Amino acid sequence: MNTLNRVVLLSSIFVIASCGGGGGGGGGDDYTPPPTSNTGPEITNNTFNISVQENQTSAFQILARDYDGDTLTYSLTGTDSALMSVSNSGTVTFNTAPDFENPSDANADNVYLVTANVSDGSASTSADFSVTVTNDPSDDAPTSSSFDGTMVAAGPVQGATVCIQVNTGTCTGAEFTTTSAQDGTFSLTVDSGTTGVLRGEGGFDPVTNLQFGEGDSLALGQPVTDQNVVISAISQLMNEDNSTDYDTFKTKLGIDPSFMIRFDNPFSNLDNAANNKAAVVNTQLVVLGEILESIHTISTGSIGNKVADAITGRSTTETSLGDTTFIKDLLTNYDSDFSPSSQQLIDLSSGISAYMQKINANSSNSHSHFMQVGVSELKTLMSSVMDGTASSTELDKLVFNTIDWINNDTAWSGGTISDNESYLNLMTYSLSNNGSVNYVVDNINPSNTEFIIYVKEGDVIKFEASNSVTSGHPFKMSTVQNATSTDSGQIGTAEGWNQDTMTLTVSSSTPETLYPYCDFHSGMYSQGKIVKVSSYTQADIDITSASGALQVKGTVATGPFKGASGYTYKVYLSSQGGSEHTHTFHEYPGLTFYMPADQGYHGSETSSTDSPFKAKSHYATTGDDGISDDY
């Protein structure tokens, strides 16, 4: 009602009230209250593109509501409206069941266009609907077969459209389609002899409810009908690069040769090592693809093809998709018009690799949560690196304290996270003895050598005894130097010492200085000790006896390979003549290491033959008998 009508109506009411007889307020029997305003109806359907199979009259339901509670009437208009009818309750049906092979819509493409109109008697609304009629293979195929299998990303994908693709990269236009179940399984009936790429698109992760868009799809080339198949991120990768055989891909990805990419569901038995590795790779590929898509739109090719080329083009034996060198090389050669700055390249490669290294798969569905955080918060943070809004504090937390970042800075709801890299904080020291005279630790005699092991909070050190050393010489820890069984300084679990495993987990409760000792014999460790520090000093570490190449277990803290976690080898504690670059490691603040140019490796998953670096005051010179020359 417009303003002018309101004025006229109010004026009329006033005149009638003034002229009425009897006085007293104008509330006689012939009084009519003013009309109230009307709220029009609303169509509430979420989906306007409907698919129905041929040979049935059911089309769709018009969902509508009226806030005034008025009775609604429905009608149809539009291109193909004459072929359909609508009931008093909004149910739309075909007047004659459609035939896929003989479409009757206006342009004969099996897409029926109709406009739904809803009225409450005074106001109306409308919405356009399209009804796509799909083929019923059983109606026209003399024989049929089916592709049976499972679709997985980071676990099963529910509600995905599965098809034999007709148009590359999409199920649009496909003749044969079905939908995956909650466990990701599907059965796609096709005409016998049908071949092509089996594709699944859309759907969601039933654990986290993470929705995949219509453009998100996975494919499997060379599907078969005589056994169950698996559509996965790995099969999608191979579909992008169908020139590389399955065995080569498995070797490059570190997947067990016995694992069958086309037929084995990696999430069916995560206790199996081969399955578990393949499950982790699947989750990593999904996360990596989403991040790459967010940081740059490539000009040629596809993201999957870029990743496949980077994997098959590796010249090293490293297989981890979380390898910092791999991520850095992938980004460097990603696209001709992708040119991040040096700092952006460092932040991207360190951030992506740090997260990828933590991804694991277990029975509590942590893999689904890794995928959810990866394609949301991690993707957002990596995108902010490219637009210059990323916080250096948050980036460092992601790289060096990844699990804390996941727990505290994201919407993680996957329970306790298992740390795949807990071994980085563990250092092992060999323990033997020379009778009841002295222990021997890493070939050092701590009874006559001031042997110091330096540790910091978070470190774990383990003494591995050869033979039956501790049965005759119980190895214990005390705050008293050269202690005996009668001293009161013995420590236990409260201070981080596990007597059964001879492991010290250093925490704030661990004393600043500890003295190992034999519970039976005095003096066996009288000159040695364990000292807790917050950082390390080069002068405290033995760099003279450790003149050869070492491997350092930790995370590179600075430089272009920042974030490389694992075993970095061919490093030295002293300069090798100036033809090297320097490194610092997050686990060893205050120490500088040297690596000759073009030698060694940053952050390998497996150790090398180089001696491990340990933060200690002495490296022994070992004689032919394997016993230290120090005693």
Distance of CA 422 to the CA centre of its chain: 19
- Looking at the fold, whether 222 and 146 belong to one and the same domain comes out as yes
Is residue 47 in some structural domain? yes
Q: What residue ranges in 499-579 does DSSP mark as E strands?
A: 503-505, 513-518, 529-532, 550-555, 565-571
295 and 340 both lie in a single domain: yes
Total count of residues recorded for the chain = 631
**Each residue of 41-63: pLDDT tens digit?**
999 999 999 999 999 999 999 99
84 & 214 share domain: no
- Is residue 116 domain-shared with residue 182, that is, in the same domain? no
340 found inside a domain: yes
Token look-up 């727990």 returns 407
Does 458 share its domain with 441?
A: yes
For residue 299, the model assigns a pLDDT of 84
The mean per-residue pLDDT over the stretch 368-375 comes to 97
Instruction: For the chain, give percent helix, strand, coil, nearest 5.
Output: 25, 25, 50
pLDDT bin (cut points 50, 70, 90) of residue 33 is low
Q: For residue 17, is pLDDT > 50?
A: no
pLDDT class for 250, splitting at 50, 70, 90?
A: very high
Q: What is the mean pLDDT of residues 287-307?
A: 92
Number of domains into which the chain is organized = 5
Do residues 71 and 117 both lie within one domain? yes
Q: What is the 3-class SS of 440-487, one letter each residue? A: EECCECCCCCCCEEEECCCCEEEEEECCCHHHHCCEEEECCCCCCCCC
Residues 285 and 401 occupy one common structural domain: yes
Q: 502: domain CATH number?
A: 2.60.40
Q: CA–CA separation, 233 vs 220, rounded Å? A: 9
Residues 276 and 399 in one domain: yes
What per-residue confidence (pLDDT) applies to 579? 83
Euclidean distance between CA atoms 503 and 92, whole angstroms: 73
DSSP state string for 29-72: TT--PPPPP-PPPEE--S--EEEEESS--EEEE--EE-TT-PPP
Residues 173 and 108 in one domain: no
Only one residue has tokens 């904080």, namely 425
- For position 612, what pLDDT does the model report? 94
Per-residue model confidence (pLDDT) at position 623:
41
Q: What is the per-residue pLDDT for 36? A: 67
**pLDDT digit string (tens) for 420-454?**
898 999 999 999 999 999 999 999 999 999 999 99
Q: Does 28 reside within a domain?
A: no
b/e map 282-292, b = 16+ CB within 10 Å: bbbbbbbbbbb
- 557: pLDDT strictly greater than 50: yes
In this prediction, residue 483 has a pLDDT band, given cuts at 50, 70 and 90, of confident
Which two structure tokens, joined as six digits, stand for 570? Answer: 């061919």
Question: Binning pLDDT at 50, 70 and 90, where does residue 417 land?
Answer: very high
Residue 482 has pLDDT above 70, yes or no: yes
- Which CATH number belongs to the domain containing residue 116 in this structure? 2.60.40.60
What's the rounded mean pLDDT across residues 294-323?
A: 91
378 and 438 belong to one structural domain = no
- How far apart are alpha carbons 158 and 204 in whole angstroms? 5
Q: What is the C-alpha to C-alpha distance for residues 573 and 547, in angstroms, rounded to an integer? A: 7
Tell me 170's DSSP state. B
Q: Residue 367 and residue 376: Cα distance in Å, rounded?
A: 14
- Please, which residues have CB within 8 angstroms of residue 244's CB and are 6 or more apart in sequence? 238, 308, 312
Q: Which of 9-13, 304-308, 344-348 is predicted least confidently?
A: 9-13
Give the residue from 378, 409, 440 where a domain finishes. 409
Task: Specify whether 100 is located in the same domain as 146.
Answer: no
Q: What is the mean pLDDT of residues 78-87?
A: 97
Question: What confidence score (pLDDT) does residue 215 get?
Answer: 78
Amino acid at 356: M
- 79-82, Cβ contacts within 8 angstroms, sequence gap of 24 or more: 79/105, 79/106, 79/112, 79/113, 79/114, 80/105, 80/106, 80/112, 80/113, 80/114, 81/114, 81/115
Residue 167 region by backbone torsions, left for phi larger than 0, else alpha for psi between -120 and 50, else beta? beta
pLDDT of res. 468: 81
pLDDT band at 32; cut points 50, 70, 90: low
Within a domain: 390: yes
Question: Does 620 reside within a domain?
Answer: no
Those residues with Cβ within 8 angstroms of residue 524's Cβ, 6 or more apart along the chain or in another chain: 433, 436, 437, 438, 439, 446, 447, 473, 517, 518
What is the DSSP-derived secondary structure letter of residue 261?
T
193 located within any domain: yes
**Is residue 29 domain-resident?**
no
Task: Look at residue 36 and tell me if it is in a domain.
Answer: no
Strand order in the sheet with 185-191: 185-191, 144-151, 229-231
Residue where a domain stops, chosen among 135, 163, 198: 135
**How high is the pLDDT of residue 21?**
33
Are residues 494 and 472 in contact, defined by beta-carbon separation less than 8 angstroms?
no
Query: Are 123 and 145 part of one and the same domain?
Result: no
Domain's final residue, options 231, 251, 281: 231
> What residues contact residue 628 under an 8 Å CB cut-off, 6+ apart?
440, 443, 444, 445, 620, 621, 622
The domain of 199 spans 141-231
Q: Of all helices (H) and strands (E), which one includes residue 371?
A: helix 366-373
Indicate if the pLDDT at residue 31 is higher than 60.
Answer: no
